[in-house]
Amino acid sequence: MSKFSLKNKIAIITGGGSGIGESIGKVFAEQGAYVNILDYHVDQANKVLEAIEKNGGKGKSISCDVSNRKQVIEVVDEIAKPDGIDILVNNAGVSHIGNLDNTSEADFDRIFSVNVKGYFHVMMACVKHMKEKGGGAILNMASIAASIGIPDRFAYSASKGAVKAMTLSVAVDYLKDNIRCNSISPARVHTPFVDDFIARNYPGKEKEIFDKLSKTQPIGRMGKPDEIAHLALYLCSDEASFITGNDYLIDGGFINLAV
HSE-up of residue 43 (Cα within 13 Å, Cβ side)? 0
Angstrom distance (rounded) from CA 136 to CA 102: 41
- Which DSSP state fits 238? G
Main-chain phi, psi angles of 90, to 5 degrees: -85, 105
What sections of the chain are H helices per DSSP? 19-30, 42-54, 69-83, 105-115, 117-133, 154-173, 192-201, 206-214, 225-236
Q: What amino acid occupies position 221?
A: R
Of 191, 192, 194, which Cα lies nearest the Cα of 226? 191
3 state DSSP class of 80: helix
User: Which sign, positive or negative, has the C-alpha torsion 129, 132, 133, 135?
Assistant: positive
What is the distance, to the nearest Å, from the Cα of residue 8 to the centroid of all Cα atoms in its chain?
Answer: 21
Q: Which of 34, 40, 119, 156 is catalytic?
A: 156
3 state DSSP class of 97: coil
Tell me the angle at which helices 117-133 and 105-115 cross, rounded to the nearest 10 degrees.
10
What is the distance, to the nearest Å, from the Cα of residue 37 to the centroid of all Cα atoms in its chain?
Answer: 12
Question: Does residue 34 have an active-site annotation?
Answer: no
Residues marked active site are found at 156
